Every structure is written in C-alpha cells, then in structure tokens.
Copies of this chain bind each other. A is one copy, B any other.
C-alpha cells in the first residue's frame, strides 16, 4: 500500500508544523455565544475555508446563517467511490470560570504532553487532525474517495440554524455516511467507537396553586401547596425498581440482546471507580441492568432543576403560588420524542389533583441514534483504530446526546461514524481544557487509515 506508507511518512515528518498550525487555530477565540467574539468566530470560519482551499477542495463556501456561518467544502473526483460528509464545529464554549485557568485559554500553552486551550479537545483538535490527514493524502495525488465538509459555528449554542440548512441543502449534502469528528476514546490505551447515543426530550412543568404567595400561617392547611403537588407528581415518576412510570415509556425501547450485552461488558468500568468519580455514596438505577447499560442503553428520566417558594437565606412563612421543575428524558432507539411528550402529558393529566393548574413547556426534543456495528464504514474505523493503537477497539454506547447524529439520520437518512480522539479527562466545557498530543498525532494517522480503507 504505497499511498498509505507515503502519506504516513508525510504526516510523521511534519509534526512540528502541524502542532504550530493547530495552536494558531486554538488562539482564535471563537466563542459562539458571546457577541463580542462575533468577528473571531467569523475569522475562524475563514481560516478553515482557507485551509480547505489549500488542501485542494474543488469548492469552498461560507454559507451565512442567521447566526454564524457554515463552512462547506467538497472534493468529488472519485466517481463510483463512497462519499463521506465530514461533520465538525469550529466554535467553542465560553472560558468561565476564567480564574481557574492556569494559562491563557487562548494561549495554547504546551505543558507536558498536552496543549491547553478552550476548544483544544472540543473540537478544534479533532477537526484539525482530520484536515491534516487529508493534507497528507492530497500530497500523494487525487483522493480515492469523495468528501464533503460541513463545519458549523453554532454547536455550542445548540445548532439553532443547522436543521433548516440541512433541509435546504439535501442534495448538496447527500453522502453515503457522515464522519463525525466530534468524538473521543474511552482512554489513551482503550480505542473505542461510540455506536449509540441517547436522545433527549427536555420539558419544564409548572404547577400553579393560589394566585399569589400566601402566608403559610393564615392559609396553611386549607389549600393545595403547589410544591407538595409537584413533589408528589415527581415522586410517582419512578417505581421501586427504578423504572420510569410514564405510560408506555418502554414500549419502543430496543432491548439489548445477549451479543450486545457481552460487548458492553467489555467496556472497562468499575462501580467503585464510578462511585469515586461521582462522589455519590452509592450507585442506583433500574433493576436488572449494569451501570454501563443503565447510562448507555436504557432510557432515564431526571429532574434537572426544581424551584418554588422562598429559597433565600433564612426562613419565610410562605405558601407559594407556584413551583416548577425541569424534567428531561434520555431516550434510546426507537423511542420517539413526540410519543414521550404524549406519555408525559398523559401522566400529568392523570396525576395532577384538583386545586392546582399546570403547564408543560418544551425545551428541546431529539431522538436517540444507534448505528450498524457491522457496516463497511464501521469496519474501516475499527481497522484504523486497531492499527494505530495496537489493540482491538471496543464498542461503546454514550449516555449523552449528540443531536447532529440524530439530525443526519432523520434528515439525510445516513448513519454517522463517530471517530475522534478526545479523552474523558480533557476538561471540555470547564477550565484548563486540554488535548492529549499523542492522541492528536495518532488521530491524524487513524483518520488517514480510515479513509484509505473505505
């Protein structure tokens, strides 16, 4: 495989330059949520567009949106060969709490085997490694596959403009599969592929009792306290086995088969370590499932926030007018968010007593996603990881949600290969975010091997 050897040689001989270019990208503070960084976000998009042009893409375009632009590029010179759509985002989270950073979040300081910067791991490191793999391949001649890029600038604010963009450009974005680089590995010595993500259905329920806050001495005992009602309703949402009681909640859940359970049992995990990591005094969850299964393969319902009445310092004898809770369900295939909303409403209708009124407000809805573990693309990814890391990769399910994966399944009808080299302790979204540099360099090689194996 002379092309592979030559490309690997190319990659290995340019590590210093790759690192300096990566650091230059990290130094642009592309914080999408802060208006004062608007120009920086645009500059990052332009930087990527320039890079993509330099790599020989036939078309490079910044598509404006109501927010930050979407970077699109394509190279379609391999007729009959697969077309991959590379997904990434070039925006980053805010840096607060700034006081806890050891070095400038946009200084990209190298300490030990890490580079420290906001966005280093999430996800400039990943998308940049993929670009360097293309650079090494393009240096050998025409790409032996077709490639498109969709790199958005609003992932950290919930991709508000992405669904409409995809819908308006389905032809442009058509592909055989998505290479989603917004991904990571289980540990530096445990190569892994996430093949399933949980969806999310997030609501807020508000219970209204009296018209305004009342004195709990004068009125207490004679009318419904909305906090009591809310607590009773929430308490009823789980049974004694830790199962969610919304009517029909498990009907659409794709159950684990023996094969998949055996694979998940391979995921390195220790309940003791999990307890230490969370600081909880004990673990808990749905009866009949392991911790790995509970967080990856089973749907859950969590109250993310609750508030009602007087919550300041000290004591106030108030019988409150209202109380509210944020309720989110993590969904697995094939639960549909709209059906879940219907179940939640049915549950609330049945449980809310006289003497209060209530409303349910939707915050977000996205389905879970599960990918075929036996597809040729998955095999190519597994092979690349095994070559680079010298170990058989494991299959993982992820408890969190990557909405774009479900979005691509729903709107373009394609699966995503989650291939990235972030690590769980990179500190994404927190202070001192970092990228483990050995993984960055191995990542370039893995992307390279993956694409050549298609």
A311 contacts chain B at the CB level, 8 A cutoff: yes
On whether the beta carbons of B234 and A238 are closer than 8 Å, the reply is no
A261 contacts chain B at the CB level, 8 A cutoff: no
A214 — which chain B residues lie within 8 A by C-beta? Answer: 278
- Which of B237, B238, B294, B304 contacts A319, CB < 8 Å? B304
Q: In the complex, how many angstroms separate the beta carbon of A196 from the nearest chain B beta carbon?
A: 12
A364 contacts chain B at the CB level, 8 A cutoff: yes
On whether the beta carbons of A217 and B305 are closer than 8 Å, the reply is no
A235 contacts chain B at the CB level, 8 A cutoff: yes
On whether the beta carbons of A202 and B355 are closer than 8 Å, the reply is no
A274 — which chain B residues lie within 8 A by C-beta? Answer: 222
Q: A221-B298, A222-B295, A234-B228 are in contact. Are A278 and B315 (CB under 8 A)?
A: no
On whether the beta carbons of A399 and B317 are closer than 8 Å, the reply is no
A291 contacts chain B at the CB level, 8 A cutoff: yes
Q: Which of A212, A318, A326, A356 has the most CB of B within 10 A?
A: A326
CA gap between A330 and B220 in the complex, in Å: 8
CA gap between A235 and B286 in the complex, in Å: 21
A260 contacts chain B at the CB level, 8 A cutoff: no
A235 — which chain B residues lie within 8 A by C-beta? Answer: 228, 231-232, 234-236
On whether the beta carbons of B224 and A282 are closer than 8 Å, the reply is yes
On whether the beta carbons of B399 and A303 are closer than 8 Å, the reply is no
On whether the beta carbons of A286 and B221 are closer than 8 Å, the reply is yes
A355 — which chain B residues lie within 8 A by C-beta? Answer: 280-284
Q: A231-B230, A234-B227, A328-B216 are in contact. Are A202 and B315 (CB under 8 A)?
A: yes
A252 contacts chain B at the CB level, 8 A cutoff: no
- Pairs A–B under 8 Å by Cβ, sample size 14: A200-B217, A202-B315, A204-B315, A214-B278, A216-B302, A217-B401, A218-B295, A220-B295, A227-B303, A230-B231, A231-B235, A304-B316, A305-B320, A307-B307
Q: Which 3 A-B pairs have the closest CB atoms?
A: A211-B279, A217-B400, A305-B309
